[in-house]
Structure 1
């Protein structure tokens, strides 16, 4: 080709389009890197922002189906996990300490403050959990062996219990669509949600579009 010859129009158009594609790709990569950096450097919410986020989560719980609220059993006198559950005896005495009863009352007040007055309520067969669940005032409390503390001597048994618990919760939620409240040990809450429970917080989970139970966050007593 001579020095003064012009490139073919098709070759010129192809070269131009290639440059545009490369430029867009570089811009996209820069945006992704910037977003990742911003997420990494994101500051935790301040008190006001956290309160707004908590209120929004309470509203979701109150107005939309498919949510599960995990509540820890309040403090009790000694270790009252029954070797052979006889839950009738749980209602023959107070099991919670004074501090535990105060925390349970705070749970009750928080639920009422956010207009949550009725829910499908299930509790482990541990007496403190049953008393905590009863003190919530959300209706009849169903006992559930799957919510009992995880076995300490078998990883396989622990995984199987959590798998069965998720399957049971999926079936229950599919049939009822109500708010589901589970009162259990913190070990159950951590295994089910994948997050260690914060003191005096309720964990929130929900079903996503694929009907998978996922962790959403936690709400404090207020």
Structure 2
């Protein structure tokens, strides 16, 4: 039979769970990020829809699926969460798709370098094997004192870690000799 103390704790946890949280990650993940040397695989922020519309051109944002207002807010909130926690970001790399680049730029964590090994290969738009292998090699080779932020797409992250990831969600990994291991996840809302 639960005591009054247990019932109060359960009620408190239910209330806290209903409140909007701008950055969800466990303390161990945030602490690991604060220490640096990790790679953050981030799916671009919310861009409603799937894939890109007919007539897609990589160099023309008006032909692509782009961030919504909520997605722009989500990217800005992610940047704020990292700055508020003094998370060191040594380098930021992004897919050349506008929704990924916009996410990286709106986070305002440093200069953004565009790279084809983060580009989407959804519906055969790129060479999945080459992109995934190159990303694995780049992650394994990371030795910076700060963290490396890679802004990419759902299909790319799924190919790397074997599981799904939501819009704006980040998978934090630690490079190993020839690969990496997952440290944790960070979810940011635009609230």
Q: Please say whether Structure 1 and Structure 2 have the same fold, judged by a TM-score greater than 0.5.
A: yes
The 5 Å alignment of 1:124-143 reads 124-143=95-114
Number of equivalent positions: 165
Q: Deviations over 1:65-98 (max 9, x none)?
A: 2x11111112347737996543xx65xxxx5321
Distance 1:216 1:81, change over 3 A: farther
TM-score, scaled to structure 1: 0.62
Using the alignment, how far apart are the partners of 1:138 and 1:147 within structure 2? 18
Q: Which runs of 5+ in 1 are unaligned?
A: 1-45
1:72–1:202 Cα contact (<8 Å) kept: yes
Distance 1:159 1:206, change over 3 A: same
Tell me which residue corresponds to 2:5.
Answer: none
Asked if residue 169 in structure 1 is aligned to residue 139 in structure 2, the reply is yes
Distance 1:80 1:108, change over 3 A: farther
Higher relative contact order (CA 8 A, sep 6+): 2
Using the alignment, how far apart are the partners of 1:100 and 1:219 within structure 2? 16
**2:27 aligned residue (55, 58, 68):** 55
2:24–2:187 Cα contact (<8 Å) kept: no
The 5 Å alignment of 1:48-87 reads 54-65=26-37, 67-76=38-47, 79=52, 85-86=58-59
**2:155 aligned residue (187, 202, 206):** 187
Tell me the SS of whatever aligns to 1:203: strand
The 5 Å alignment of 1:1-222 reads 54-65=26-37, 67-76=38-47, 79=52, 85-86=58-59, 95-116=66-87, 118-153=89-124, 157-171=127-141, 173-174=142-143, 176-208=144-176, 210-221=177-188
Using the alignment, how far apart are the partners of 2:155 and 2:131 within structure 1? 12
Q: Which has the larger radius of gyration?
A: 1
Q: Which runs of 5+ in 2 are unaligned?
A: 1-12, 17-22
TM-score, scaled to structure 2: 0.71
Q: Which has the higher helix share?
A: 1
Q: Which has the higher strand share?
A: 2
